[in-house]
Amino acid sequence: MAGNGLFPFTDEHESIRQAARNFAQKEIAPVAAEFDETGEFPSKTIKKMGELGFMGIEVPEEYGGAGMDTLAYVLALEEICKVDAAHGTIMSVNNSLFCNGIMKFGTEAQKQKYVVPVASGKAIGAYSLTEPMSGSDAGTMRSRAVRQGNEYIINGRKSWVTSAPVAEYIVLFTMTDPEKKHRGITAFLINASQPGFVRGKKEPKLGIRASATSEILFEDYHCPLEDRLGEEGEGFKIAMAVLDAGRIGIASQALGIAEAAYEASLAYAKEREAFGAKIGEFQGISFKIADMKTRIEAARLLVYNAALAKERAKKTGERFTSEAAMAKLFASETAMFAAHTAVQIHGGIGYSKELPVERYFRDAKITEIYEGTSEIQRMVISRMELGLR
Ligand SMILES: Cc1cc2nc3c(=O)[nH]c(=O)nc-3n(C[C@H](O)[C@H](O)[C@H](O)COP(=O)(O)OP(=O)(O)OC[C@H]3O[C@@H](n4cnc5c(N)ncnc54)[C@H](O)[C@@H]3O)c2cc1C
């Protein structure tokens, strides 16, 4: 479906898409329901995804990645999420939130130390901005880093950190100058095996249950100066730039979930009978199919367009904030609409764990929340349109 002439897909794009599709169908599909049920981290399949190069798709080969472009990344992520969004969440954090930020803002030594193991799939990375009392409004965060000579002493509690129960390395955003609010935030690279780093309770979640999420605590963690990412006070700028890229990943995740919900619904509408006819023959059902298909194709255009905007930005340095926010906003609301509609089309069996449709419904919701809620995406888009800060 991607090769509609609007986007410059190459044989390389087709081959990574096929590789991701084959892997997802052969290796993830048979275990997705079980990992969703237990909430266990799917270490084996994630390791294999690392071996296939899926954990650092845009990272150059010399830093352990696959050396491909943003379109390749979104196509692969879409295919993984079409089968299981939880695997997609783990993949997107490693690619967009961890490796991408260090490749953009890190020193050569930081790239060698942190990107190489994560992009090659040998270690798991995480990104920690949120705190119990600070989500959409990062400027109110309470954790602190205090400089002492050639190191920083970090204290505080961070919440909702995807992959934190298993991550070896974390990009952390914490306050070095609270009076300056968001301009007082600084980014650091954290090694989870160092003293002073404590993993908190794992969150019991509605969806993407195989993607482990937890709090993390810092108790006099000593972070050497060379592990500061960027300059003091640059953390908010780094966090937002990284989220621009991350939102394109979440938009592809949403697209994958929406497609899965649609394909299941289409097949069911052709097969299930009521009142002597296939349910797809009833206008009440066929119009739902039309609405799902139309919204999915519109979401696809926004997602691939945002990927191209990010690719252009590598050369021009331009921001792609608006393109990424529009893709995430529309694709996530499409995923929610498609998953909700899919349960309805399936009737009672749509509510059962015998089919993956109820999982798509639970998984779709997160795409409207993390990496900026839909309200925050609307704020980002409207402020740019209105020229407001
Ligand atoms: C499963 C999961 C995984 C996550 N993974 C990570 C991660 O890896 N790293 C990380 O740092 N964070 C992560 N998060 C946190 C996530 O990014 C935040 O939950 C999200 O940004 C919203 O913040 P909040 O929960 O504090 O909600 P709040 O900011 O308290 O918002 C509550 C409600 O108010 C609305 N709202 C807030 N401000 C405004 C406004 N100005 N105008 C209109 N409405 C507004 C919001 O849209 C929302 O509906 C994760 C969350 C979940 C659930």
Q: For 258-273, how does the pLDDT look when each residue is reduced to its tens digit (9 = 90+)?
A: 999 999 999 999 999 9
213 CB within 6 A, ligand 1: yes
- Look at residues 42, 67, 43, 47 and name the one whose alpha carbon lies nearest to residue 57: 67
What is the pLDDT averaged over residues 339-363? Answer: 98
Q: Given pLDDT bands bounded at 50, 70 and 90, which one contains residue 223? A: very high
Residue with structure tokens 């990424």? 324
Contacts of 349 (CB under 8 A, 6+ apart): 355, 357
What is the pLDDT averaged over residues 306-331? Answer: 96
- The pLDDT of residue 6 is 82
Q: Given pLDDT bands bounded at 50, 70 and 90, which one contains residue 1? A: very low
- The pLDDT of residue 250 is 98
Residue 247 has pLDDT above 80, yes or no: yes
- The pLDDT of residue 342 is 98
Catalytic, out of 79, 215, 259, 371: 371
Residue 99 has pLDDT above 80, yes or no: yes
Ligand 1 pocket mutation, candidates 166, 369, 381, criterion most atoms within 8 A of CB: 369
The H or E element spanning position 136 is none
**Distance in Å, CA 373 to ligand 1 centroid:** 6
371 is annotated as an active-site residue: yes
Q: What is the pLDDT of residues 50-66, one digit of tens each?
A: 999 999 999 999 999 99
Q: Given pLDDT bands bounded at 50, 70 and 90, which one contains residue 4? A: low
Average pLDDT across the chain, whole number: 97
- The pLDDT of residue 166 is 98
d(C-alpha 29, C-alpha 23), whole Å: 9
What is the pLDDT averaged over residues 276-287? Answer: 98
- The ligand 1 atom nearest the CA atom of 130: 11
What is the pLDDT averaged over residues 81-90? Answer: 98
Ligand 1 pocket mutation, candidates 373, 377, 379, criterion most atoms within 8 A of CB: 373
Query: What is the signed CA dihedral for 189, 148, 221, 105, rounded to 10 degrees?
Result: -10
Residue 30 has pLDDT above 60, yes or no: yes
Residue 3 has pLDDT above 80, yes or no: no
- The ligand 1 atom nearest the CA atom of 97: 8
Residue 98 has pLDDT above 70, yes or no: yes
136 CB within 6 A, ligand 1: yes
What is the pLDDT averaged over residues 188-195? Answer: 98
In terms of pTM, does the model score above 0.95?
Answer: yes
130 CB within 6 A, ligand 1: yes
Q: Given pLDDT bands bounded at 50, 70 and 90, which one contains residue 8? A: confident
- The ligand 1 atom nearest the CA atom of 369: 20
- The pLDDT of residue 389 is 72
Q: Which residues of 48-82 are buried (b: 16+ CB within 10 A; e: fewer)?
A: ebbebbbbbbbbeeebbbbbbbbbbbbbbbbbbbb
